[in-house]
């Protein structure tokens, strides 16, 4: 059930009508039923997977909290990690690793005979796995005590506004709100409605409108001039931001109508002056999760320069893989790792005088450079490139930089009907107006 579908707004109207007529405890029970209905709308069979994860982590967190022996506590944490990431790995990465192994075997001239399974990726599994893991880890570190209220914990995991597209909510933020009495004020209604409208505008008016003009450029970059490739990259950068942040705005708005506050997940990331600042503004709930539960446990910046850079690369590579099971996502994470390491190295070398120097023109230049560095990584993000080993990313880069590609193209939008007909088998010498075939204009996928 998509946030921008009429079915969702019928569902939301029913939920709000029931919610406002109930007290806190019945509200939570109703929201839990509604959340499972919302999740099961896509495929009811995967509600059992969500329930298994919920029941398992509810009981293991209580066991961890009650254990006095540190070795037993570590063992229980390890079991939780293996079970949670085992389920995520099987559903999301099994065929990815099997296919990768098959390609390696083929490189040695052998014919692989490896098993493949037709696995359906459960919606939102990446989000709720990270959410339950941060709960268990925080209980293990004694940062919080586990709740004994199973229904409230189950709602914390399955709460429908953020279930399939984030943000990833910490237990310390959401659980207290679910346990206390909630009063919905006019301010909640006004600001919640405004967030929903802003999110719908980003998603429907900007992201979905740009999609048909973006996809042909990524499907056949050799068919376009350098200028059109660059414009396509700008369009995609805007599209992916409006798609993700739009969904988050709708989620925050819907939750605010229920009197529950969700944290901001995107804070004007394209106005960042460097790549480190970008990751403080982009997908904030994911970047802070990776920092607190991966980068810092690996040692962070406490074990010397070389180890710091290694930790950055490991964090960003796994962050890229979290977005999707393709090598293009790994390449995207690798580039961001390079950027972060380079920026950190620069900060270590610059003088105090350089650090203090700042003016509006310099800040504009920094924003310009940071935006284009981020935009370059979107070529490798894999959102529009369906083949893990596809040469399309390289073709896109060489096409943008090729001196023979700067021909006078038709402006964006003037031949969008021709663009939608472009197919991957287009001749390298073709132009947008001369291509034939049938393309796709599907909406940008959200990580699961």
Contact (CB, 8 A) for 333 and 321:
yes
Give the angle subtended at the CA of 168 by the CAs of 161 and 370, to the nearest 5°: 115
Distance, CA of 226 to CA of 342 (rounded, Å): 28
Between 148 and 98, residue with greater pLDDT: 148
Half-sphere exposure at residue 442, Cβ-oriented, CA atoms within 13 angstroms:
9
The region of weakest confidence among 52-61, 372-381, 417-426 is: 417-426
Annotated catalytic, 162?
no
| Residue 227 CA, distance from chain mean position | 29
Q: Which helix (H) or strand (E) holds 175?
A: helix 171-179
* DSSP class per residue in 17-86: HHHTTS-HHHHHHHHHHHHHHHHHTT-GGGHHHHHHHHHHHHHHHHHHHH---HHHHHHHHHHHHHHHHH
Q: What is the pLDDT of residues 285-320, one digit of tens each?
A: 999 999 999 999 999 888 888 889 999 999 999 998
Of the pLDDT bands very low, low, confident and very high (cuts 50, 70, 90), residue 435 is very low
pTM: 0.82
What is the token pair recorded at 212?
């048909």
The whole-number pLDDT of residue 326 equals 84
Share of the chain above pLDDT 90, in %: 55
What is the token pair recorded at 416?
């969008």
Q: Which of 323, 336, 343, 383 is catalytic?
A: 323
Of the pLDDT bands very low, low, confident and very high (cuts 50, 70, 90), residue 385 is very low
213 pLDDT higher than 90: no
How much is the mean pLDDT over the chain?
83
Share of the chain above pLDDT 70, in %: 83
């Amino acid at each position: 059930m998509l946030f921008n579908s009429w079915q969702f707004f019928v569902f939301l109207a029913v939920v709000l009508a029931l919610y406002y007529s109930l007290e806190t405890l019945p509200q939570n029970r109703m929201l839990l039923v509604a959340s499972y209905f919302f999740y099961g709308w896509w495929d009811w069979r995967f509600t059992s997977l969500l329930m298994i994860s919920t029941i398992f982590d509810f009981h293991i967190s209580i066991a961890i909290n009650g254990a006095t022996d540190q070795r037993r506590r570590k063992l229980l944490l390890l079991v939780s990690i293996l079970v949670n990431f085992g389920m995520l790995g099987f559903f999301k990465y099994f065929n990815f690793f099997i296919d990768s192994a098959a390609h390696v075997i083929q490189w040695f001239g052998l014919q692989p005979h490896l098993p493949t399974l037709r696995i359906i990726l459960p919606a939102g599994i990446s989000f709720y796995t990270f959410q339950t893991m941060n709960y268990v880890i925080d209980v293990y570190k004694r940062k919080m005590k586990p709740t004994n209220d199973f229904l409230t914990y189950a709602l914390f995991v399955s709460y429908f506004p953020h279930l399939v597209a984030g943000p990833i909510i910490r237990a310390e933020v959401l659980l207290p709100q679910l346990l206390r009495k909630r009063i919905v004020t006019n301010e909640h209604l006004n600001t919640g409605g405004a967030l929903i409208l802003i999110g719908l505008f980003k998603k429907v008016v900007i992201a979905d409108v740009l999609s048909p003009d973006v996809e042909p450029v990524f499907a056949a970059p050799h068919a376009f001039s350098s200028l059109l490739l660059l414009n396509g990259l700008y369009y995609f950068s805007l599209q992916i931001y409006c798609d993700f942040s739009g969904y988050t705005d709708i989620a925050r708005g819907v939750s605010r109508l229920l009197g529950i506050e969700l944290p901001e997940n995107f804070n004007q990331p394209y106005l960042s002056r460097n790549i480190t600042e970008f990751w403080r503004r982009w997908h904030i709930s994911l970047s802070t999760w990776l920092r607190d539960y991966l980068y810092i446990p690996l040692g962070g910046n406490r074990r010397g320069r070389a180890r710091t850079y290694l930790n950055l690369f490991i964090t960003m590579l796994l962050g890229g893989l979290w977005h999707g099971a393709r090598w293009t996502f790994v390449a995207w994470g690798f580039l961001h790792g390079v950027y972060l390491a380079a920026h950190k190295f620069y900060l270590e070398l610059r003088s105090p005088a350089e650090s203090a120097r700042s003016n509006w023109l310099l800040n504009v230049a920094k924003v310009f450079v940071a935006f284009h560095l981020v935009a370059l990584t979107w070529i490798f993000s894999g959102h529009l490139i369906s083949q893990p080993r596809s040469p399309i990313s390289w073709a896109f880069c060489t096409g943008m930089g090729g001196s023979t590609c700067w021909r006078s193209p038709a402006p964006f939008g003037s031949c969008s009907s021709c663009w939608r007909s472009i197919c991957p088998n287009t001749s390298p010498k073709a132009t947008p107006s001369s291509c034939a075939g049938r393309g796709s204009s599907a909406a940008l996928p959200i990580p699961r």
